[in-house]
Amino acid sequence: MAKIFGNFLLLLLLILPTTILFSAQGKDSNLAFAQDAMEGEDEDGTIETEGGADEEATDEAQEAPLTDQEEEEEEVPTLKPSPDADTFILFTKPSNPLELPAGKQVRILVGFTNKGNVDFTVESMEASFRYPQDYTFFLQNFTAMAFNSVIEPQKQGTFEYGFIPNEAFSSRPFGLSVILNYKDVEGAVFQSAVFNETIQVVEPDEGLDGETFFLYVFLAAIIVLLLVGVQQLVSNFGRKRLTKPRQPVEMGTQNSDVDYDWLPKETLQSLNKSPKRSPKPKQSPRQRRNLRSSGSGDD
């Protein structure tokens, strides 16, 4: 029974590591693919044709230096928050906004207060991960959520937003920007940066993960195998001590070992009929001395 149990544990130890390794390799390959795809977004591939050089020369010839008036027209106006509106943010999951778990949902509540005399329409909210050293460089854009809710003067409104950080961003710092878009009754568009700070994407604390569980199982199997091996050694050592050959003891010649078959039947019958002598009682040395002294006195 102990051998069968030991073989089963050995087979279990051989199968479990292989399964864990294959699953871990598949997970790592998926993460590496996603990370390469996101980090390599700025590496646009170019295809050169036979007339590529001519096309580039033509494009350069067509491009003329822009005048100051054209540059001013091409400038995109930056949206600013309204002085009649206040915003605040609250992270409900997780409670610490500076450490967000990778691959887990993040939930936030954004409050909007209308301090003016006209209505505001909260259109949408969006969030994005940006490069910490340059907030104009986007790393990941999250889905914008539309609200289209009207906030009357001297009223407040609360809006919920959620997103999930990519697992490939684990253990890295990012700039998190949460933007709230709204407008007034005259159509003027405003934009408030509700949250604009550097955060850290951390690995989620799942308690007992697969690797930790396998480690505990592996240690338990090793301990069981050691116990089985010690038990086998103790049992084998005990058997050797029990089966140790004893030294033969000389018992002398006994009557049962004498072979009387070679004697004639008449002699055997006479020996059996003859009375057996009673064994002489043993005498102590003192009794023998007394007998000797009495014998010498008779003489």
133: CATH: 2.60.40.10
Examine residue 106 and state whether it is found in any structural domain, yes or no.
yes
Percent of the chain with pLDDT over 90: 32
The number of folded domains in the chain is 1
C-alpha dihedral over 73, 44, 198, 205, to 10 degrees?
150
- Alpha-carbon distance 215 to 184, whole Å? 60
- Is pLDDT above 70 for 74? no
- 124 part of a folded domain: yes
CA separation, residue 162 to residues 4, 125, 178, 189, 196 (Å): 54, 10, 11, 23, 16
Inside any domain, residue 208:
no
Strand partners, 113: 86, 156
pLDDT at 249: 60
pTM of the model: 0.48
Instruction: Check whether 230 has a pLDDT greater than 80.
Output: yes
What does the mean pLDDT of the chain come to?
74
State both tokens at 196: 């604009």
In a domain, 55, yes or no: no
- Return the bridge partners of 100, or none: 201
What pLDDT shows up at residue 215?
Answer: 85
User: Domain limits at 148?
Assistant: 79-202
Residue 95: pLDDT band (50, 70, 90) is confident
Using only the alpha carbons of the chain, give its radius of gyration.
Answer: 51
The pLDDT of residue 22: 56
**Residue 282 confidence class, pLDDT cut points 50, 70, 90:** low
- Rounded Cα distance between 228 and 9, Å, is 11
At residue 207, the pLDDT reads 62
Calculate mean pLDDT across residues 135-143.
Answer: 89
CB-CB contact of 200 with 98 (8 Å): yes
Confidence of residue 268 (pLDDT cuts 50, 70, 90): confident
Does residue 294 surpass a pLDDT of 50?
yes
pLDDT for residue 125 is more than 80: yes
d(Cα 149, Cα 130) in Å, to the nearest integer? 28
**Residue 57, in any domain of the structure:** no
pLDDT band of 204, cuts 50, 70, 90: confident
Collapsing DSSP states into helix, strand and coil, what is residue 275?
A: coil
Rounded mean pLDDT, 170-193: 92
- Distance in angstroms (rounded) separating the CA atoms of residues 248 and 223: 45
